[in-house]
Structure 1
């Protein structure tokens, strides 16, 4: 969820001062781009995974503080809800066995963390939304202790001027309200990071937007919310609504949402940061002492703290990231649209598919985004979130096509080629992309498996069935056998 922020109140003067500082940061960022101040050699990749916590019965375990104390590993961090934690993988180069490094490290860390968390009555589950969440978990008391989260909740609710409304229709319909952003905590994700040069950033971001729909179609893993069967990737509409700062009147006026697919292909990373500053008021107007221009002209690297904090409260599904490593600034695309799981093997297959496909699409001589409208990419994204492997999407040169057929015939070969360009070992490439292939052939994602298992329990009371199915899911998750092989 970003930088630590202390509990505080903001005055009108604070907001004015912060806006001016953010704009100074943006000016300095533009100058750094012009002067080519960024690390562009030998790009790194990264991985973050958000996890849910459950008790022995399969209900949410609101114990992340106790779990983190028991794990005592700085790679694990707090998340928005007390039933969430996050693990951050160390950056790695794909040509140096990065995918294997991520996989082995993630599996080892999760096994160790599960052993320690079990001692305090909590177990980890890699799933997009805990299906056993109930209305009683949606209260402010479920937020983590970090003051940032309560402050963020207050700011979003104050901006709205009313409670948050959640309205999602799928096979069933959900209508509910919340007086905090706890529904946002229900959405846990996997985040893939790919470092780029400023010159390449727009191509990698545009490519990530163009392929977002096929990622969702073959990686959906959150079909239930508050006891209702909704979208195959219910996280998408839930997150869009849970962090929406707009009243109904502002929506009608066309004010842009805080959780945003975007509205155009870009030509520079600057476009995205400039949109953030131009369209969105600050939610957390915290102003630091550093003057970025003075730091830059003195030969240093400015943190651009206000610009980064603001960027962290504009929730793009593919987010631009400015960061500093060893005193040198760099840029990353953060691909944040997929749920975790169902297993580490499945998560790494999703990573391989993204890293391989995005490289081929981004570095193609004829850009994919020059062949399709941005609105078509956004429509594909929504359809894939709703329908998963059954989605029919638009693709240039093909027209309307089933997402799984498109992946099998066109996109998997492109992902293979992209991983070859990254320098990934052929046996790792084939094993991980083979998981994506089998999901397409069997029509089985985490969401589909869960729905089918629930259908087998159709005679049970709904939450009893959800608990039993989630416990089955957790047991299969620990086998690390990909979800398409589960019975």
Structure 2
């Protein structure tokens, strides 16, 4: 979905040709996977960070064109709304002092980006949902000037027969609104973690990423407020799911197959099953035809980019041109601080490595992993989950007494530096002990200063600039 397109209108012939090429590439990928013709490199890490541009009143500032022109880096690109920007990392082997390097690299990139933002009269903030964003700002006047975004909006509305999108979220409070376009999606920003592993292990790691999504979203929650309402600990989850609410073929909009969601099940035999499901069950949204050979998987990759599973397999290419499969873990929100985000990544890498290598099958049924995820997104560290043997566990002691130890074992197995393991998992431990996730800090602030969302966002931004982990932020 990162590529620009030449036009936003399509004919039936475009859809038919795209369908044929997608079918060919899906079959080809299946053969590649069965024959072991994808990369055996890894583990390799990377990330994407979506962020907000804000004005002096902490309202969204639609200035990404001016920001990107001034920033002048291939590591930054526009997002759906003019007040959002995405930053990307270079892939790195997941070993040694990689966590320190990621922290340093993201910190330096962020400092340069903040300086650039200030030079064009705005500021930059990483937060799952900007608490000050008004519904009226989420309109097509603020869509980024790219054909692909306008085409996406048109195709989604067409799939819905022009019916408005509806948000209906019940949490601490209740929010029910209608919206006329896909710009609701731009209110949800993430810190997306990428993990490339050898083809022969990617099935286990993908399933394990689903398994550990619940503790990751619980400990990283940073999006309690939307349009002045206190909703879920991680409101970004239901917001994104409802902002692009279309399903599969044959009027399946209310069935299990949604464009944004947790998925339909574990992959059973091969990771290519996910791409086969894409082809069989999801209508084509953007039939952008490519002249690239089938081995480049141009149509398969674009189609996959319009299906937003919370854990999504991606096809990429190694420096030597060999195709690889990597996992994109999308459950974690942006923010609160740079060090918090790297700690979240460390926790994810450690848990996935430990569980993928300790157990040959997922520990709990898929339906339970899915339910755990939504319970954790809704209640954060106050959630209860069901774990192996049907045991119901409160999340907080589960993190402290089992999962942190698992993550430590996993990071040690990867050969990461001991000092990094202790430092970044220590941040997760202190956040859990204090109970102060980004979501809880925001809730405590508004409990103390009701309705002061601009003041809270300014204080949040100041604390973010200070660089301390969220567990140390004062009110």
Which TM-score bucket, shorter chain as reference?
over 0.9
Note the C-alpha offset of 1:365. Answer: 3.7
Deviation readout 1:21-67 (Å, 9 max, x if unpaired)? 10000111112223322221343111111111111111111111111
Task: Write the distance in 1 (CA, Å) between the matches of 2:60 and 2:329.
Answer: 27
* C-alpha RMSD of the superposition: 1.5
Matched, 1:416 2:424: no
Distance 1:58 1:8, change over 3 A: closer
Task: Write the distance in 1 (CA, Å) between the matches of 2:45 and 2:147.
Answer: 30
Q: What's the counterpart of residue 271 of structure 1?
A: 273
Q: Structure 1: which 5+ runs fail to align?
A: 293-301
Task: Write the distance in 2 (CA, Å) between the matches of 1:253 and 1:100.
Answer: 44
Give runs of ≥4 in structure 1 deviating > 6 Å. Answer: none
Q: Is the 8 A contact 2:375 2:384 kept in 1?
A: yes
Task: Write the distance in 2 (CA, Å) between the matches of 1:199 and 1:179.
Answer: 44
2:457 to 470, 479, 483: 470
2:427 to 425, 435, 441: 435
Distance 1:181 1:478, change over 3 A: same
Deviation readout 1:427-467 (Å, 9 max, x if unpaired)? 11011001111111111100000010011112xxx3xx100
Q: What's the counterpart of residue 66 of structure 1?
A: 66
Q: What's the counterpart of residue 317 of structure 1?
A: 310
Distance 1:59 1:373, change over 3 A: same
Task: Write the distance in 2 (CA, Å) between the matches of 1:228 and 1:468.
Answer: 16
Q: What's the counterpart of residue 295 of structure 1?
A: none
Q: TM-score, normalised by structure 1?
A: 0.94
Q: Is the 8 A contact 1:103 1:348 kept in 2?
A: yes
Q: Is the 8 A contact 2:15 2:284 kept in 1?
A: yes
Secondary structure at 2:331's aligned position in 1? strand
Q: Is the 8 A contact 1:47 1:102 kept in 2?
A: no
Note the C-alpha offset of 1:366. Answer: 4.3
Q: Is the 8 A contact 2:138 2:186 kept in 1?
A: no
Distance 1:255 1:417, change over 3 A: closer
Secondary structure at 2:330's aligned position in 1? strand
Q: What's the counterpart of residue 298 of structure 1?
A: none
Secondary structure at 2:115's aligned position in 1? helix
Q: Is the 8 A contact 1:476 1:486 kept in 2?
A: yes
Task: Write the distance in 2 (CA, Å) between the matches of 1:260 and 1:246.
Answer: 10
Deviation readout 1:218-238 (Å, 9 max, x if unpaired)? 000001111111111001000
Q: What's the counterpart of residue 132 of structure 1?
A: 132
Matched, 1:217 2:204: no
Q: Is the 8 A contact 1:140 1:179 kept in 2?
A: no
2:466 to 479, 482, 485: 479
Q: Is the 8 A contact 2:75 2:87 kept in 1?
A: yes
Note the C-alpha offset of 1:185. Answer: 0.7
Residue correspondence of structure 1 range 374-385 to structure 2 within 5 A: 374-385=366-377
Secondary structure at 1:337's aligned position in 2? coil
Q: What's the counterpart of residue 19 of structure 1?
A: 19
Task: Write the distance in 1 (CA, Å) between the matches of 2:84 and 2:144.
Answer: 9
Task: Write the distance in 2 (CA, Å) between the matches of 1:365 and 1:208.
Answer: 13
Secondary structure at 1:363's aligned position in 2? helix
1:340 to 334, 351, 358: 334
Q: What's the counterpart of residue 450 of structure 1?
A: 442
Task: Write the distance in 2 (CA, Å) between the matches of 1:469 and 1:402.
Answer: 29
1:352 to 346, 355, 364: 346
Q: Is the 8 A contact 1:58 1:132 kept in 2?
A: yes
Task: Write the distance in 2 (CA, Å) between the matches of 1:158 and 1:229.
Answer: 32
| Aligned residues between the structures | 470
Q: Structure 2: which 5+ runs fail to align?
A: none
Q: Is the 8 A contact 1:23 1:277 kept in 2?
A: yes
Secondary structure at 2:53's aligned position in 1? strand
Q: TM-score, normalised by structure 2?
A: 0.96
Residue correspondence of structure 1 range 2-401 to structure 2 within 5 A: 2-161=2-161, 162-246=163-247, 250=251, 254=255, 256-266=257-267, 267-292=269-294, 302-326=295-319, 327-367=321-361, 369=362, 371-397=363-389, 399-401=391-393
Q: Is the 8 A contact 1:49 1:190 kept in 2?
A: yes
